A and B are shown apart, each in its own frame.
Chain A
Amino acid sequence: MRRARQLATVFLLLVALASAAAGFLAPSGYAHQFRDTPDASPSRQHWLGTDDLGRDRFARLLYGTRVSLCLAPAAALLSSLLAALIGGVAGFCGGRLEQLVLAGTDLFLSLPWLFLLITIRALLPLNLPPVTSVVITFMLLGCLGWAVAARVICSDAHLLRNCDFILLARASGLGGWRLLVRHLLPNLMPIVYAQFWLSIPIFILTEANLGILGLGVSEPLPSWGTLLRDLESCSSMSHLWQFAPLLLLIAAVSCFHLLVVDREFPA
């Protein structure tokens, strides 16, 4: 287990390093179209071949990793924190507030988000630089993704609120935020962690789908999402190197899981 964890750390570090050094490792850049060689197979010049427009797949993978590996966890963090805060406070305070918040999350979950996102896109200017657009998208995802997690966390917090140790903490004169943050939150952490790790791959994929609404990464900037979307058109299994983005996504997410499991306090 420790061995596996070390390997995972090394792997993630390598991925992070490679994506940070993208400009150096793949000097051709993610946008340049080598129009004489579209859909090329791997070669010395293009390690993973080129895509349908002749862009270097390796460069796109590195830059896409940079975008998704920075932003998806950031969004997941945002949504998990929101969920912990909203769910935690509601479950902890109980009573009217809890009912209100639960009703609120239900309403939030039942809202037609697609339409809301379309409206948001309508409010945003069309001339957004690709980077801004992708940052906005992930932050939106972060702001919208809390509801399900909040329900789970709320019910957990509700159980905790009647625990002896919370009673004792109160009896020691603790209360308010301090009680919430120092005593309740650490006990909610495992579930918050779980929600966090769950939402990373979800956000990566959602970002890919949001491209359809004109949100998300816009051309020519790549993200794991757009790279995965490219796979849709990949009809034959003979071009296995095209699946590199998928492999990397799976590998990275599993590594993250490995690193996190058992990091909680010993039960």
Chain B
Amino acid sequence: MRRVLFTVLSLWLAFGSARAQSATQLRFCLRSEPKTFNPLLVEEDSSDTVRYLTGGVLVRLNRKTQKLEPGLATDWKVSRDGRTIAFTLRPGLKFSDGTSFSAADVAYTVQQMMEPSLHSPIGDTFRSGEGATESKILAADKVAISFPAPVAGLDRLFDQVAIMSASSAKKEMAVLGPYYVSENHAGSYLMLERNPNYWRQDAAGRPLPYIDSIRLDIQQNRDLELLRLERGEIDLVNSIDPEYYEKLVKEKPALAHDAGPSLDSEHMWFNQVPTAAISDYKKAWFQSANFRRAVSEAINRQDLARIAFRGHARPAVGIVSPANQFWFNDKLRPHPFDQKSALQRLQKDGFRLHDGVLRDVNGHVVEFSIITNAGNRYRERMATMIQQDLAGVGMKVNVVTLDFPSLIERITRTFTYEACLLGLVNTDLDPASVMNVWLSSAENHQWSPGEKKPATAWEAEIDRLMRAQASTLDDHRRKQYFDRVQEIAWEQEPFIYLVTKNALSAISTSLSNAQPVVLRPQVFWNVDELKLAPEVAATR
């Protein structure tokens, strides 16, 4: 009898505990179907999300502290010459399919990544010079990787390299991250299951992640995504726009999160391409730092942030957002709104304001057009506000909204524009990622792309500093160089930075432990520590 009771009791207990732990599922949307599951070929957002959720990396950039933390490697060291990095691996780890993990897998991944025929976008970030990359397996848990030339910020780059198994039959589907892809319903949704072999544990020794599975619905339509959030069908939206944020604040304030200034900024610039088909006197204006500074000071950034972005933006400082904790030059401040000073600067160049009309030294009326992409309400608003602000110093501005392809055509190929208003999306903290903008020979050097040799002394100086920081390994020395770049850019204003947008997100109240940050992926960067409230979990 006692035995029977015991069995019943234990069954009841087992059942009860199963109930208590009934499977939890996190749900959110991908904007498009992931193009690839091969972590080395990731290019677009959706694949990146899957890689972040499933991939195990040697070192992980903590999205909150913006510092590197151990991942699969417990320890790492970059050599003095900046060409070699040595990792000590966590022992006894297994891939999601049970294959064991060792230095050979790291060597395999790096070899694959640097394979020229694969055209891996991540591989490209490591390519600093001609020659082969070598991986040396020093022991089962020790590996050293040597690149042909020094790579700036080498250790951080490994945050993007998800290690693949050299021997698993499941190839890239065998993973080391918190989740693995269990089902893929093309075009509709993706199921990720908790990886039982994931290495991390919480402080109490419980294996992470807490949430059992993730359902990623493919949803292209933004409005539908937001609607599903309001209905409670999904748990988070990584980034929302100010207008929707305001709506949430009114209707469901608990869902709205503002993580402060993000890395993304909005800026405008004048066309300084020497061969551009615009009149010479206009080119002369645009090439004058006084003119650019005057325009900058005549724009009320505070108003742009407050009205165009409903207060969810800050006046921008320069190249680097204050959200980039290490690299931001904190001596710099946003340009003040000061139309008097703007006029003084213009007078230095011989401009005269008369009857509300500004004329240059030769009597040409100052009139130019700003192009921006149509359909972006915030940019259209900013452009219209800038139009009114600049009218305050007698400049006549025409706002032209263009469809995106023809805008790109104009700013990259035909150079038939005068000024352009666009935004910059930054995903990387390291200055290496903006080399392609700030080197005068770069294609994304938008005010005058692909200069054969620097057109101005300050551009030459920026070239020198950017190259210097790229070939220096000591981060503090690099920062000194980059601080100087930020200062020159602030003084010369080839890009007139307008506002830094806030990182806004929406998170369901049932999700706990969420700490939205400005770096991608804003809401689920700590996915392995996220928890779903049990009552919600039970009703699913």
Which A residues contact B (CB, under 8 angstroms)?
31-33, 35, 38, 52-54, 118, 121-122, 126-130, 211-214, 218-220, 233, 235-236
Contacts and interface: CB of A to CB of B under 8 A. Distances in A.
B243 A212 contact: no
A32 B391 CA distance: 11
Contacts of B406: 118, 121-122, 214
A210 B374 CA distance: 10
A213 to B, nearest CB: 6
B388 A33 contact: yes
Nearest to A214: B402
A220 B403 contact: no
Contacts of B308: 53
A53 B307 CA distance: 7
Contacts of B384: 33, 53, 219-220
A229 B443 CA distance: 36
Interface string B101-120: 00000000000000000000
Contacts of B243: 233, 235
B537 interface: no
B371 interface: yes
Nearest to A33: B388
Contacts of B369: 126-127
Given A33-B384, A212-B401, A219-B384, 15 more contacts: A31-B388, A35-B307, A53-B307, A53-B384, A54-B307, A121-B406, A122-B416, A126-B371, A127-B369, A127-B398, A129-B398, A212-B403, A213-B402, A218-B399, A233-B377
Contacts of B383: 219
Nearest to A212: B374
A214 B374 CA distance: 7
A212 B398 contact: no
A126 B396 CA distance: 13
22 contacts: A33-B385, A35-B306, A52-B381, A53-B384, A53-B385, A118-B406, A121-B406, A126-B369, A127-B368, A127-B369, A127-B398, A127-B418, A128-B398, A211-B401, A213-B402, A213-B403, A214-B374, A214-B402, A218-B399, A218-B400, A220-B387, A233-B377
Contacts of A130: 398
Contacts of A212: 374-375, 401, 403
A35 B418 CA distance: 27
B222 interface: no
Interface of B: 243, 247, 303, 306-308, 367-369, 371, 374-375, 377, 380-381, 383-385, 387-388, 398-403, 406, 416-418
Contacts of A33: 307, 384-385, 388
Is chain A's binding surface mostly helix, strand, loop or mixed? Answer: loop
Contacts of B377: 233
A219 B377 CA distance: 12
B143 to A, nearest CB: 53
Nearest to A52: B381
A230 B476 CA distance: 49
B230 to A, nearest CB: 12
Contacts of A235: 243, 247
B367 A127 contact: yes
A126 B411 CA distance: 13
B506 to A, nearest CB: 15
B126 to A, nearest CB: 40
B398 A126 contact: yes
A219 B306 CA distance: 20
